[in-house]
Copies of this chain bind each other. A is one copy, B any other.
Amino acid sequence: MTTPTTPMPYDRSLTHEIAARVLAAAVAEAGRNGWPMSIAIVDTAADLVAFARMDDAQTGSIDAAHAKARTAALYKRPSKVFEDAVTAGGQGLRLLGMPNLCPVEGGWPIVRDGRVLGAIGVSGMRADQDTVVANAGLAAL
């Protein structure tokens, strides 16, 4: 697992207002595309601040969205970093044995002024579509 030489610090001021705004933007983007998804917003401890499951989202997406958000918040990195490492095989496979780490694209830190406030996790469609929705949420930050 590659850790930045200067890890970003945390900022523990993720408000409900911010979380609700990011969530609404993500839900709107998913709706525009007709993608049924679950979307989780968590703080720096990976505790839930806001959550929405859209109609007909696969039930597994509930925990998957939370797991991706947890990963990004707890390790201060997009979950895709871990997906890529696992995909590369070899040493990267060790990540499958790390606690609280879901190595699947769709979890992204919520960053402001170089500090991690928490994370968004999206699940329900293809991983790149999950990321489109997460980015739409982050753009509302």
Which residue numbers of A lie inside 8 Å of B, CB to CB?
A: 1-3, 7, 9-10, 12, 15-17, 19-20, 27, 36, 43-56, 58-60, 62-64, 67, 71, 73-76, 82-83, 86-87, 89-91, 93-104, 124-127, 129
Contacts and interface: CB of A to CB of B under 8 A. Distances in A.
A64 B16 contact: no
Chain A residues touching B, majority SS: mixed
A126 to B, nearest CB: 5
Nearest to A45: B45
18 contacts: A7-B36, A19-B52, A43-B45, A44-B59, A46-B59, A47-B53, A47-B59, A47-B62, A49-B53, A60-B98, A60-B101, A83-B91, A87-B91, A89-B90, A94-B103, A95-B97, A95-B104, A96-B97
A127 B3 CA distance: 9
Given A1-B127, A47-B45, A74-B58, A97 B101 contact: yes
Contacts of A59: 10, 44-47, 73-74
Nearest to A127: B1
Q: Which 8 A-B pairs have the closest CB atoms?
A: A60-B74, A45-B45, A12-B12, A51-B51, A63-B99, A87-B91, A97-B103, A59-B74
